[in-house]
Amino acid sequence: MQASAIEGFFATLRAANPSPQTELQYASVFELLVAVVLSAQATDVSVNKATRGLFQVANTPQKILDLGLTGLESRIRTIGLFRAKARHLMQTCRILLERHGGAVPRTREALQALPGVGRKTANVILNVAFGAATIAVDTHLFRLANRTGLAPGKTPHEVEVELMQRIPPDYLTDAHHWLILHGRYVCKARAPVCWQCGVANFCDFKDKTPAP
C-alpha cells in the first residue's frame, strides 16, 4: 500500500467513525486492565457478560483479592482459560497493592511485569487508558495489516513496528480501534465483506469478494 493510499485509508476510517472506542465495558483503569486480561482468546461480548456481574461486587484490587481464587473463578468461568486468568488476576492485584498503591502503572515496563499482561495487553492499556500512540496487534489487526498490504509482517511485533512507521502521526492514537473494528466487522477472516468496505479502493487485496 502506497503512502498516498495510507492517508486516504485512515482519512476514510476517521470520517466514518471520528471517535472510535473499545467495545470492552469498564468504568476505571483497573476495570479496563481486568477486562483486557480476560479478553485474551475470548470475545469482548463474553468478557462484558462476565465483568458486568464481577465489577458489581469487585472493582478494585483489594475487592478482587477478597473474593478469593475460587470466588473469582466462579464469576469468570464462562470465559476461556478462566482458571489461568483468575490466577493471573489475583497475582496482579497483589502486585498493584504492594508496588503501585493499588493503581495501574503507566509505563510499559511496569505493565508487562504484571502476570497475564503481555505486550499487546500493555499497548491496549497505554492507548485506551492513557492516550498513548500504541498499536495492539490482535488476530484481527494482524490479518488486516497483511491482507490489505498496510503493514505486512510475519509476526505481530513485525506488524506493530511497521504500522508505527507507516501510519501518519495524526491518526496513530485512534488507529488501534479503527483497525480492530474494521477487521472484526468488515475485513473478516473467512468472508471479508469487500462490497461494504469503505476503504476497498486503497486495499492491495487482489481477490476482493463480490456482493452476494
Verify whether residue 138 is a known catalytic residue. Answer: yes
C-alpha triplet 131, 22, 122: angle, nearest 5°: 55
Of 138, 204, 206, 207, the active-site residue reads 138
Cell readout for 69 is 481464587
66 carries an active-site annotation = no
Task: With both helix axes pointing from N to C terminus, report the angle between 156-166 and 172-185 in degrees, rounded to the nearest 10.
Answer: 130
Q: Of 102, 104, 109, 110, which is closest to residue 129 (Cα–Cα)?
A: 104
Annotated active-site residue in 63, 120, 154, 188: 120
Nearest to 136 by CA among 84, 173, 189, 99: 173
DSSP secondary structure of 14-82: HHH-SS---SS--SSHHHHHHHHHHTTTS-HHHHHHHHHHHHHH--SHHHHHHHHHHHHHHHHTTSTTH
Residues assigned a catalytic role: 120, 138
